[in-house]
């Protein structure tokens, strides 16, 4: 990439309190933005055997299914047609890397990994459906669904993930100001980024759907609001029947 990298100067909101709002993004309120945006395109990985069965898929090295590879190719074709992607940053997990590599081949954009974009660690719930986890850990699942500080047994809480993903966003927005970044990640980190942009409370994480291989787009302004331009966009999958 060319051009000068300038230091970001975000205006921050307070960090999240339990049950309160998510960690802050680089914008406060709805003051009009005067400058140029840093754009993040957020791509969820394609289908895996666990996502097809709606099972917890955290830190396991799970490959894409054949449909998942086709979904990644469809997303890659769409992003190649869009042009202007300066950098692809992927979760280090296999399913995200496979998706990101398809886009890198199609666009020619450089690709790097960032541990901050990894999925939540679901601990002992890895590979289970929520119904199966509820049978074995009924109280823990109920608490987890209502409290971002609660973690699956042996896993990571949403509160911890909010801090981790927020730190990754801070690094990337500061290092690549005014660029267009494609972040290839998972349900939880993408939802955290969207909630941060909307200044939405953590409970919002459970209130919207992100399909496999879906795209979201957020513009981040250092001198104004973050703007969510699209959410769970799967037009590229509908067009190709994937």
Domains and CATH numbers, the chain: 38-240 (3.40.50.1240)
Query: Predicted confidence band at 238 (pLDDT cuts at 50, 70, 90)?
Result: confident
Tell which residue, 145, 149, 170, 168, has the closest CA to residue 160.
Answer: 149
* pLDDT exceeds 60 at position 149: yes
> Averaged over 137-144, what is the pLDDT?
96
Q: Count the neighbouring beta carbons within 10 Å of the beta carbon of residue 105.
A: 13
Supply the pTM of this predicted model.
Answer: 0.84
Residue with more model confidence, 13 or 117:
117
Assigned token pair, 47: 């289908």
For the stretch 167-225, pLDDT in tens is 999 999 999 999 999 999 999 999 999 999 999 998 899 899 999 999 999 999 988 78
Can you tell me the distance from the alpha carbon of 55 to that of 181, in angstroms, rounded to the nearest whole number? 29
* pLDDT exceeds 70 at position 162: yes
Q: Which residues are catalytic?
A: 45, 119
Contacts of residue 54, Cβ cutoff 8 Å, sequence gap at least 6: 129, 130
Q: What is the pLDDT of residue 171?
A: 96
For the stretch 44-65, pLDDT in tens is 999 999 999 999 999 999 999 9
- Sign for the CA dihedral angle at 138, 18, 206, 48 comes to negative
**Percent of the chain predicted with pLDDT > 90:** 78
Q: What is the pLDDT of residue 192?
A: 97
Can you tell me the distance from the alpha carbon of 21 to that of 25, in angstroms, rounded to the nearest whole number? 11
Q: Count the neighbouring beta carbons within 10 Å of the beta carbon of residue 129.
A: 14
Q: Count the neighbouring beta carbons within 10 Å of the beta carbon of residue 150.
A: 17
Phi, psi dihedrals of residue 202, rounded to the nearest 5°: -55, -30
Q: What is the pLDDT of residue 242?
A: 52
Q: What is the pLDDT of residue 34?
A: 64
Structural element, H or E, at residue 235:
helix 235-240
């Amino acid at each position: 990439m060319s051009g000068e990298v300038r230091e970001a100067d975000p205006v921050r909101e307070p960090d999240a309190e339990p049950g309160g709002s998510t960690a802050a993004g680089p914008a406060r309120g709805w003051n009009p933005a005067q400058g140029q945006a840093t754009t993040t395109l957020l791509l969820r990985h394609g289908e895996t055997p666990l996502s097809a069965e709606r099972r917890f898929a955290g830190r396991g090295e799970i490959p894409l299914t054949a449909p998942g590879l086709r979904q990644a190719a469809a997303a890659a074709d769409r992003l190649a047609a869009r042009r202007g992607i300066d950098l692809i940053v992927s979760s280090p997990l296999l399913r995200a890397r496979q998706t990101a590599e398809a886009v890198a081949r199609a666009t020619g954009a450089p690709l790097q990994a960032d541990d901050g974009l990894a999925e939540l660690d679901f601990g002992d719930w890895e590979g289970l459906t929520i119904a199966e986890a509820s049978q074995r850990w009924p109280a823990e699942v109920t608490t987890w669904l209502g409290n971002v500080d609660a973690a699956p047994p042996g896993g990571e809480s949403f509160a911890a993930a909010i801090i981790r993903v927020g730190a990754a966003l801070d690094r990337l927005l500061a290092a690549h100001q005014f660029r267009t970044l494609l972040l290839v990640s998972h349900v939880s980190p993408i939802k955290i980024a969207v909630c941060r942009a909307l200044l939405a409370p953590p409970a919002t994480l459970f209130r919207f759907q992100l399909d496999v291989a879906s795209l979201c787009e957020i513009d981040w302004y250092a001198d104004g609001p973050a703007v969510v331009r699209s959410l769970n966009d799967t037009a590229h999958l509908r067009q190709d029947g994937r």
